[in-house]
């Protein structure tokens, strides 16, 4: 679905990503993880052409993003950014309806099908009761669900989530990740989650990518990637990966910081 080839990126002269090669498969949930400042969000912006690689390229089903219009990219890839601040008093329905813009010609109004898709996106994220409410009166967690609904209204093949649980209460964190995981399984949605919250994200991921020293340190299923050595190197923690039979998923148990060892 997405392929990253020999990708490098710098801010001014400071390297952020170096020689990144990565393939993201259709219908999988893949987590890109690492400590703050390691380049995770930069990689996500490159996957959506919000940034342009200085070296290498990003391919969407074999087509270089650099040769595609933003409108065309938006018909395939939706983004849930880390920040959900919206200054104007748009209603929730207004915001979610913006997800249909890549499919509308200039001056074209919404069709009955567009309205149905918007309603469905609000229902899936449990915000339909807020449809006529001004978004700038809502809490951070409520706004996050609105932004996710906007992304779902794009009917994307790929959804990129940058720290999607950052503003959410613990119950809504599970709701959001349960939702995108379900869409991946039932509808073949490709989900890319950027996060530093290893214990939260691990239960949802088919594969994981660990970023360290501006490079891909490890990639593969959690059982192969989340070794004690890799978690020491990338996160500076003592931790173990286990499988919880009751939950039916992987879990990371953090034992402590490597910095605290004597």
Q: Which of 27, 76, 23, 78 is nearest to 182 (CA)?
A: 27
Residue 240 lies in a domain: no
Residue 229 lies in a domain: no
* Domain enclosing residue 183, as ranges: 1-76+156-222
- ∠ CA 260-32-257, rounded to 5°: 5
- ∠ CA 108-109-115, rounded to 5°: 140
Strands 2-11 and 158-162: unpaired
pLDDT in tens, 194-244: 988 888 889 899 999 999 988 999 999 999 999 999 999 999 999 999 988
Point out the domain boundary residue: 154, 185, 206. 154
Residue 145 lies in a domain: yes
Residue 37 lies in a domain: yes
Average pLDDT of the chain, as a whole number? 88
CB distance 102 to 154 below 8 Å: yes
Residue 182 lies in a domain: yes
CB distance 62 to 223 below 8 Å: no
Residue 258 lies in a domain: no
Q: Report helix, strand and coil shares of the chain as percent, to nearest 5.
A: 40, 30, 30
Task: Count how many domains the chain has.
Answer: 2
The pTM of the full predicted model, rounded to 2 decimals, is: 0.89
């Amino acid at each position: 679905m997405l392929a990253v080839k020999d990708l490098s990126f710098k801010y001014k002269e400071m390297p952020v990503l170096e020689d990144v090669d990565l393939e993201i498969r259709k219908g999988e949930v893949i987590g890109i993880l690492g400590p703050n400042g390691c380049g995770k969000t930069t990689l996500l912006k490159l996957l959506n052409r919000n940034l342009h690689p200085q070296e290498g390229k990003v391919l969407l089903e074999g087509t270089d993003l650099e040769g595609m219009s933003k409108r065309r990219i938006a018909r395939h890839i939706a983004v849930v950014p880390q920040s959900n601040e919206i200054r104007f008093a748009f209603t929730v329905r207004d915001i979610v309806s913006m997800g249909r813009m890549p499919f509308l010609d200039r001056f074209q109004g919404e069709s009955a099908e567009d309205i149905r898709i918007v309603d469905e996106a609000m229902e899936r994220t449990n915000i339909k009761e807020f449809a006529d409410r001004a978004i700038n009166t809502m809490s951070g967690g409520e706004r996050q669900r609105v932004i996710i609904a906007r992304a779902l209204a794009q009917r994307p093949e790929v959804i990129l989530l940058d720290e999607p649980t950052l503003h959410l209460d613990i119950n809504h964190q599970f709701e959001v990740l349960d939702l995108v995981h379900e869409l991946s399984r039932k509808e073949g949605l490709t989900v890319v989650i950027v996060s530093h919250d290893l214990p939260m994200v691990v239960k949802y991921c088919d594969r994981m990518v660990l970023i360290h020293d501006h490079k891909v340190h490890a990639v593969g299923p959690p059982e192969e990637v989340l070794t004690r050595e890799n978690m020491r190197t990338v996160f500076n923690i003592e931790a173990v990966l286990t499988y919880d039979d009751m939950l039916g998923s992987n879990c990371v148990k953090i034992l402590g910081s490597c910095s605290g060892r004597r």
